[in-house]
Structure 1
Amino acid sequence: MLLGDLIAQLGDETIAMESLIGLGDLALLARVQDAAAADDLTPGEYAAQAVHAFSTQASDEDWVSLIGVMGKTDDPGHACLKKMVEFALRPAGVAHACGHHH
């Protein structure tokens, strides 16, 4: 599957939520639930928005890191979503993979 197709699928809140649950990372799921509630969103909406945020705001280094992680797993879809959600959950002002504050 092409990365663009994967991003398009994960931009759907239902698919994003199913994938988020499929990660089996309860701590990450709890963080998403808290962040979603703070923004008056469902966790699926938050995850889908995280995909969009990464797609439009990630640095070149973030993209390289994403591709690297996806290349080392048998489940690139889950790896992609996890990386994108973690990107969205970073506190404002935290350095990106490149070390700069964007």
Structure 2
Amino acid sequence: MQLGALLTRLSDENDAAVALDALGDVVLLAQIQEMGEQHDETPGEYVANASRRYAAQAGDEDWLALMTAIERADDPARVVLGKMLRWALASDAAPAPATSGGCSCGSGGCDDHR
């Protein structure tokens, strides 16, 4: 399966839930259930949203690591899903960046707030 097709399939929460179950990683499943509850999402919703966020927000190093892992994997789809989910869990667990001046842009000198 091509990466684009996998990402498209993961955007459907039912397919995402099936893929999560197929991983068979009970620790990862528990982490996703816990984080999903914090964001008011089912595990399938969390997986679908995590794959979207990875596609939109992952950095070049994240993508390079993913491509390298895919090349070495016996089951590339499993590797992709696992890496995306662990990336999303780490991102969600990280503290929100501090902003100054109440502006979400973080500049503290935003023209919108002067």
1:21 aligns with 2:12: no
Moved over 3 A (4+): none
Question: 1:96 matched to which residue of 2?
Answer: none
1:26-65 maps to which residues of 2 (within 5 A)? Answer: 26-65=26-65
Cα offset for 1:74?
2.2
Aligned-residue CA RMSD in angstroms?
1.1
Deviations 1:40-97 (A, max 9, x none): 110000000000010000001100111111222222112111111111100225xxxx
Amino acid at match of 2:38: A
Amino acid at match of 1:33: Q
Count residues with an aligned counterpart: 93
Mapped partners of 2:77, 2:68: distance in 1? 13
- What is the SS of the residue equivalent to 2:24? coil
Question: 1:72 matched to which residue of 2?
Answer: 72
Mapped partners of 1:74, 1:18: distance in 2? 20
Question: 1:11 matched to which residue of 2?
Answer: 11
Question: 1:82 matched to which residue of 2?
Answer: 82
Question: Which sections of structure 1, spanning at least 5 residues, go unmatched?
Answer: 94-102
TM-score with structure 1 length normalisation?
0.85
Does the Cα contact within 8 Å between 1:16 and 1:81 map onto a contact in 2?
A: no
Mapped partners of 2:78, 2:9: distance in 1? 12
Amino acid at match of 1:76: P
- What is the SS of the residue equivalent to 1:40? coil
Mapped partners of 2:49, 2:29: distance in 1? 15
Does the Cα contact within 8 Å between 1:14 and 1:44 map onto a contact in 2?
A: yes
1:92 aligns with 2:94: yes
